[in-house]
Amino acid sequence: MEDDELQAIRAKRMAELQAQGGSSAGRGGFPGGSGSPAGGSGGGSGASGQEDAEKKQQVEDMRRNMLYQILDNNARERLARINMVKADKARAVEDLLIKLAQSNQLRNKVSEQQLIDLLGQINQQEPSASQTKIVYNRRRFDDDSDDEYDL
């Protein structure tokens, strides 16, 4: 009997979350609309872990929707390529774009050139110590190993 009630509560909560997700996507997909904590019975840790995972998934879906609305196709492709190489830098750019969109500082979709300019500004702000430097150590012609045999 208790399992049936638990399943009914979970189904009801899932329906509420889906309704909230659908209504916030209709408002443009900007997060921070509901602000209500996922409370309830205060049950076991397994259920709260599942709720946390669902909440993270919803936040990521909202991020993707916002970025889809903010960026044009070429900029989105470039950001995806950057994400493959440097995920932390791509995440920082995404956060900055979302913050700009939430503060209504973006009027149009961000083009690829605007994204490149934004990346340049972010690179200038970072310390130069994080830049990668490659040093080649090559053997010189007069550094032969044949000298060892002339004993």
Residues 98-109 have pLDDT tens digits of: 998 889 888 889
Q: Has residue 57 got a pLDDT over 70?
A: yes
| Mean pLDDT (the chain, rounded) | 76
| CATH architecture of the domain with residue range 52-124 | Orthogonal Bundle (1.10)
Counting residues of the chain whose pLDDT is more than 90, the rounded percentage is 17
Q: Has residue 113 got a pLDDT over 90?
A: yes
pLDDT attached to residue 85 = 92
Mean pLDDT on 131-139: 78
- What is the Cα–Cα distance from 118 to 102, expressed in whole angstroms? 17
Confidence of residue 122 (pLDDT cuts 50, 70, 90): confident
pLDDT attached to residue 4 = 74
Counting residues of the chain whose pLDDT is more than 70, the rounded percentage is 70
Mean pLDDT is lowest, of 5-9, 75-79, 145-149, for 145-149
The per-residue pLDDT for range 5-53, each reduced to its tens digit, is 777 787 787 777 777 765 444 444 444 444 444 444 444 566 788 888 9
pTM value > 0.75: no
pLDDT attached to residue 27 = 41
pLDDT attached to residue 142 = 62
CA 52-56-59 angle, to 5 degrees, is: 140
Contacts from 73-80 at CB under 8 Å and sequence distance 24+?
A: 74/111, 74/112, 75/109, 75/110, 75/111, 75/112, 75/114, 75/115, 78/112, 78/115, 78/116, 79/115
Q: What Rg value do the Cα atoms of the chain yield, rounded?
A: 26
Mean pLDDT on 62-88: 91
